[in-house]
């Protein structure tokens, strides 16, 4: 179309980035994509306190109804985050026959199914490139670039904050607390970092990736999620001595009719493509049939990276009324109906387990006896420090072991007198 | 649309792959993308000799006019390769208001500008995902996924055959001839491998990547191209001892108003993402503003990988009349008009140069004197073998040196009595 009238709701970091690009590149975008991208109304609940974006003829308002009720607005950009009122805004926009662009991963992860159907029913699109992978155009790569493939799995590093912290712990020998502080100072972690370091942010994104690849809408609360705040520098060092690297991995794979969907710190071989993903980068492997693996890496955080996903969505809307998200995301019923989530208790992986123990004879026997009783077979054992009578770390690597049995064994071992504190168990994946 | 009638011209390896997917996945594709993908006519000049694809109601013919003249065919898939009659077919199809999907890199590299304009004039699309990167959806990632960005450069490994050969030389200690033979036996190299090992195949692809990123249509014959057949096992070993890896790199970068576009063997640091790209994989970095670097890797060869690019194009056409290629590929005039190609003589890189010399005192002095006269400064020198009076390899690494001066110096040095054969010069890029 000749022009696209935009109503933007939420003038925070990403919103300001979007405005910056649309303003500074207006001529470039108009000439290249034959569409004038016009921000007609800009809404933020504290718009008066924010820097005036200097957009001519743009209505600044605190009332998002001004956007929803304006028949001349073609697309609503929702950048307020959170579930409410974001969901109400998106549904109202769709019912008013407006397209929606959103960067809201929680919203798409929780209500994607409902919203995509609502969009289709209204003949509108809902685009969400920025909800996963920030600087990586992963949504479009999977849905359009890899169209026609069937997907076996998707896995990768999709939380830049955690990757920054783990990289800093490894490269600069920092403790978790020091690395987190550094990430906060550089703007890579929020002052309340819980959403990121708990793994929940990655879980939201993984739910979206699972949905657009394998067609299964997975409730986020059913995803097994473990964060990174129990990882110590000892673990990083042990991993390095084993030629392994620790990253927060989000994994979704189809095994027969079961879907294995989980987020947790994972030790992977140092030579794997994901082990060299540094800082706030994100990187994702998509395993498809018949195309095979496609790997994509890019910046995982930053104002402009997130903004550009929104801009790409707007351009795709501007030059053609895009197909509804449901077409790209939904799989035929018979591909999905038998798929069920595999419980974490059923998962089997190799484990790295670090125990803090009193350094004295017989300790290993007590621990390995319990492991044996739970059918957990040991691949190797290592105690690097010697300090008779004091607490030292020992590390056991297991062969493939069942999650549930490992959990039970660790509870028992924690109660042994020679064991101090809670053991740290990290899954190992060969990928 | 409800169905897409396809006329497929060229039932070779890729064509057979496309038919295989459209046939075996017909129900899946119809349900997922709400489009029935119907091969209405299949044309191949030796169709009688080929295995019958077993498609009901599909016309098999040797006459492509049957497709071009059929008003019920929506899209022509051109898979015959080469420039003629491919160009005539594509133009006729567009003028008959049919969309075109092609995997023909030579055609798009040579005539893309003309064909995209022809498509636009006829309100049709021409899609070419499979022309570059086979299993990597690189065209769509750049044009649609990274829409709105300005591009500073694009570089990577885009010829699977060469990468397979160089990987085999390095990992399995093969000579070039042995590695080529192995590649041919595995179907990764043609019986006449010239197009691949000369670098020309990569040059065609690079021309397309340059066009869709920086908007400049570069004539393939103006691209500096050097193949890999002069690389010896000595070079691979020297590279390894320097923690470097040799790959055939295709590079296009914008430096001010100059475009540096070249294909040649390149030594890159072993820790770089491209150094670990194995076998027939392809991998591409796209440097954009403000999104930064996006890296994408996937299979670079194979029947089904190439076929899936065509299938993705068909799906994109099936669910929406796609925007013309010109919108995605052309940059505004003022972004392009001042861009000119930098001559290879103006390029400056670090060089690895291997000389075969008679092992006797004074040789180094003769060589370095010539280099000095050409203003080429030496970073290091290495002679690993000692064999007085016989021919041994010596390696010199230079600081940044001008291409033209290096060329002149090497001509002079080749004429020295103590130097045997032609020196091998390989550019080094830090990337």
The first and second tokens of residue A282, run together, are 């994100």
Any B CB within 8 A of A260 CB: no
Residues of chain B with pLDDT under 50: none
Residues from chain B that touch A336, judged by Cβ atoms under 8 A, are none
* Model pLDDT, residue B324: 79
Residue with tokens 């129900």: B27
Closest to B308 (Cβ–Cβ): which among A148, A273, A314? A148
* Model pLDDT, residue A69: 97
Q: What is the pLDDT of residues B140-189, one digit of tens each?
A: 999 999 999 999 999 999 999 999 999 999 999 999 999 999 999 998 99
Looking at A145-159, A327-341, B34-48, which range is the least confident one?
A327-341
Any B CB within 8 A of A287 CB: no
Chain B residue with minimum CA distance to A24:
B148
Res A5 pLDDT > 70? yes
Helices then strands, counting H and E runs in chain A, come out as 16, 18
- The neighbour count for residue B324, using CB atoms within 10 Å, is 23
Average pLDDT for A314-325: 84
Any B CB within 8 A of A122 CB: no
Average pLDDT for A387-406: 94
Question: How near does any CA of chain B get to the CA of A309, in Å?
Answer: 8
* Model pLDDT, residue B325: 82
* Model pLDDT, residue A134: 80
Cα–Cα distance, A207 to A224 (Å, whole number): 11
Question: How near does any CA of chain A get to the CA of B131, in Å?
Answer: 13
User: What separation in angstroms does the CA of B172 have from each of A25, B89, B165, B178, B230?
Assistant: 50, 44, 10, 10, 18
Task: Count Cα neighbours of B146 within 13 Å in the Cβ-side half-sphere.
Answer: 33
Closest to B148 (Cβ–Cβ): which among A21, A273, A299? A21
CA geometry: angle at A162 spanning A160 and A166, to 5°?
Answer: 115
Closest to B294 (Cβ–Cβ): which among A298, A323, A332? A298
Cα–Cα distance, B112 to B106 (Å, whole number): 9
CB contact under 8 A, A316 and B34: no
Any B CB within 8 A of A16 CB: no
Any B CB within 8 A of A269 CB: no
Give me the DSSP letters along A382-421: E-----TTSEEEEEEEESSEEHHHHHHHHHHHHTSTTEEE
pTM above 0.90, yes or no: yes
Give me the DSSP letters along B211-280: HHHH-----GGGSEE--STT--HHHHHHHHHTTEEEEEEEEEEEETTEEEEEEEEEEEETTSGGGG--TT
Residues from chain A that touch B322, judged by Cβ atoms under 8 A, are 320
Looking at A73-87, A178-192, A216-230, A310-324, which range is the least confident one?
A310-324
Question: How near does any CA of chain A get to the CA of B148, in Å?
Answer: 6
| Identified catalytic residue from B40, B87, B105, B205 | B205
Closest to B305 (Cβ–Cβ): which among A34, A291, A323? A291
With contact defined as beta carbons under 8 Å apart, do A315 and A101 qualify?
no
* Model pLDDT, residue A386: 85
* Model pLDDT, residue A322: 67
CB contact under 8 A, B145 and A319: no
With contact defined as beta carbons under 8 Å apart, do A34 and A2 qualify?
yes
ipTM score of complex: 0.94
* Model pLDDT, residue B323: 73
Looking at A168-172, A319-323, B95-99, which range is the least confident one?
A319-323
Question: How near does any CA of chain B get to the CA of A376, in Å?
Answer: 35
Closest CA to A263 of A60, A74, A109, A72: A109
Q: Residue A204: which H helix or E strand, with range?
A: helix A200-214
Question: How near does any CA of chain A get to the CA of B113, in Å?
Answer: 15
| Identified catalytic residue from A40, A87, A98, A205 | A205
Those of residues 336-395 in A touching chain B at CB distance below 8 A are none
* 3-state SS assignment for residue A299: strand
Q: Phi, psi (5° rounding) for residue A118? A: -60, -45
With contact defined as beta carbons under 8 Å apart, do A36 and A56 qualify?
no
Residues from chain A that touch B330, judged by Cβ atoms under 8 A, are 32
Res A321 pLDDT > 80? no
* Model pLDDT, residue B413: 96
Average pLDDT for A377-387: 90
* Model pLDDT, residue B326: 83
Known catalytic membership, residue A430 = no
Strand residue runs (E) in A90-243: 99-102, 126-127, 150-157, 224-225
Those of residues 61-90 in A touching chain B at CB distance below 8 A are none
Any B CB within 8 A of A31 CB: yes
Q: B221: cis peptide before it, omega within 30°? A: no
With contact defined as beta carbons under 8 Å apart, do B287 and B151 qualify?
yes
Residues from chain B that touch A134, judged by Cβ atoms under 8 A, are none
CB contact under 8 A, B295 and A291: no
The first and second tokens of residue A328, run together, are 């790209």
CB contact under 8 A, B273 and A271: no
Those of residues 147-166 in B touching chain A at CB distance below 8 A are 147-150
* 3-state SS assignment for residue B377: coil
């Amino acid at each position: 179309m000749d022009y696209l009238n935009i109503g933007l709701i939420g003038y925070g970091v990403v919103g300001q980035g979007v405005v910056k690009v649309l303003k500074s590149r207006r001529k470039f975008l108009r000439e290249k994509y034959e569409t004038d991208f016009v921000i007609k109304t800009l809404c933020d609940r504290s718009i008066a306190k924010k820097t005036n974006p200097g957009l001519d003829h743009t209505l600044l308002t605190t009332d998002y109804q001004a956007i929803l009720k304006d028949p001349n607005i073609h697309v609503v950009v929702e950048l307020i985050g959170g579930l409410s009122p974001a969901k109400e805004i998106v549904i109202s926009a769709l019912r008013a026959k407006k397209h929606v662009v959103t960067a809201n991963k929680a919203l798409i992860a929780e209500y994607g199914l409902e919203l995509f159907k609502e969009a289709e029913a209204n003949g509108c699109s809902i685009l969400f490139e920025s909800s996963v992978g920030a600087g990586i155009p992963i949504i479009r790569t999977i849905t359009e670039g890899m169209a026609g493939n069937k997907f076996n799995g998707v896995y990768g590093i999709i939380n830049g904050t955690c990757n920054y912290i783990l990289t800093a712990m490894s490269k600069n020998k920092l403790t978790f607390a020091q690395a987190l502080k550094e990430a906060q100072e550089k703007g890579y972690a929020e002052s309340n970092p819980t959403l990121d370091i708990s793994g929940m942010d990655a879980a939201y994104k993984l739910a979206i990736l699972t949905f657009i690849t394998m067609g299964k809408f997975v409730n986020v609360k059913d995803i097994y999620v473990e964060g990174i705040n129990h990882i110590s520098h000892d673990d990083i060092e042990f991993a390095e001595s084993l030629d392994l690297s620790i990253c927060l991995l989000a994994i979704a794979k189809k095994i027969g009719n079961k879907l294995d969907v989980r987020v947790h710190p994972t030790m992977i071989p140092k030579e794997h493509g994901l082990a060299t993903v540094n800082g706030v980068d994100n990187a994702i492997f998509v395993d498809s049939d018949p195309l095979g693996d496609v790997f994509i890496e890019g910046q995982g955080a930053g104002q402009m990276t997130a903004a550009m996903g929104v801009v790409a969505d707007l351009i795709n809307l501007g030059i053609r009324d895009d197909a509804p998200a449901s077409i790209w995301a939904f799989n035929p019923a018979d591909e999905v109906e038998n798929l069920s989530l595999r419980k974490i208790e059923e998962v089997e992986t190799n484990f790295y387990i670090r125990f803090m123990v009193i350094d004295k004879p017989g300790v290993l026997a007590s621990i390995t006896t319990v492991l044996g009783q739970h059918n957990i077979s040991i691949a190797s054992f290592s105690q690097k420090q010697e300090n008779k009578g004091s607490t030292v770390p020992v590390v056991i690597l297991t062969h493939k072991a069942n999650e549930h049995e490992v959990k039970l064994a660790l509870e028992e071992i924690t109660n042994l007198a020679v064991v101090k504190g809670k053991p740290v168990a990290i899954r190992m994946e060969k990928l």
